[in-house]
Amino acid sequence: MARRDTRAIGLAALLVLAASAARAGEGYGIGRPATAAEIAGWNIDIDRAGDNLPPGRGSVDRGRVVFAEHCASCHGAKGEGALGDQLVGGQGTLATAKPVRTVGSFWPYATTLFDYIRRAMPQNAPQSLSNDDVYAVAAFILNLNGLLPADAVLDAHALPAVRMPNRDSFVGDPRPDVR
């Protein structure tokens, strides 16, 4: 088995290898290289800056059509929720006795909308929508929440520019917070 090159290994990995002194500087030679094409096919993560958003574009108008066809049966015609989560409304409710957590009232990043719709929705056929239609559905949901005008079109440049109202309301973990 070929000895693996660890010259440029990061600090964290050095710590790992230090904890495993018997094999320091040597890997197991297990696994095979992942090709760029293989990674591109699987890496569907969109971070909060919109990195890795694909080419394509979708309008609020097109999103209305796609939403009615694929989303409304669970989320309601206007995203009011049913079997699926409520997607619209709730702004101003988070500090009340009955908070309504929706895309518009709670989600901190618009880019997550693309990521989640593409990977998990519609629930009966995830990863089936075209990138254009994912942009379009995201645009329609943001429009329903009053966060995009009716004539808006989203793409890899426009989506990360949408500023979500609840973006700055997330805090870290302060626990233990009791006793």
Partner 1 sequence: MTDDDTGAATRPPSRREFLRASGAMAGGAVAGGLAGRAAAAEPAAPDAANLPPNVPEWMKAPGEPMGNEPYGTPSVYEKGVVRNISKTLKQYISASGRTPLQDLDGIITPNGLFYERHHGGVPTIDPAQHRLMVHGLVERPLIFTMEDIRRFPSQSRIHFIECSGNPVYTRPYGKTASDLVGLVSCAEWTGVPLKTVLAEAGLEDGARWVVAEGADAAALTRSVPIEKCLDDAMLVYSQNGERLRPQQGYPLRLLLPGFEGNMNVKWLRRLKVTTEPAYSREETSKYTDLMPDGTAREFTFHMEAKSIITRPSGGQKLTVRGFHEITGIAWSGHGKIARVEVSVDGGHDWQTAELQEPVLTRALTRFRLPWHWNGEPAMIQSRAVDETGYVQPTLQELLAVRGSNHFYHNNAIWPWRIDAAGEVTNGQA
| Residues in touch with partner 1 (CB under 8 A) | 4-6, 8-13, 15-17, 19-20, 27-28, 30-34, 38-39, 42-45, 47-48, 83, 94-95, 97, 99, 101, 103, 106-109, 111-112, 115-116, 119-120, 123, 126-127, 169-179
Tokens coding 158: 């426009």
* Residue 179: CB minimum distance to partner 1, A: 5
| Closer by beta carbon to partner 1, 106 or else 135 | 106
| Closer by beta carbon to partner 1, 81 or else 153 | 81
Cα 71 to Cα 74: distance, rounded to the nearest angstrom: 6
| Closer by beta carbon to partner 1, 61 or else 80 | 80
* Residue 61: CB minimum distance to partner 1, A: 25
As beta bridge partners, residue 57 has: 155
* Residue 151: CB minimum distance to partner 1, A: 27
* Residue 39: CB minimum distance to partner 1, A: 5
* Residue 35: CB minimum distance to partner 1, A: 8
| Torsion sign, CA atoms 106, 144, 132, 76 | positive
| Closer by beta carbon to partner 1, 97 or else 151 | 97
Cα 138 to Cα 1: distance, rounded to the nearest angstrom: 49
Tokens coding 170: 């997330």
Cα 158 to Cα 47: distance, rounded to the nearest angstrom: 14
Determine contact, residues 91/75, Cβ cutoff 8 Å. no
| Torsion sign, CA atoms 121, 124, 127, 133 | negative
Cα 61 to Cα 3: distance, rounded to the nearest angstrom: 57
| Closer by beta carbon to partner 1, 59 or else 103 | 103
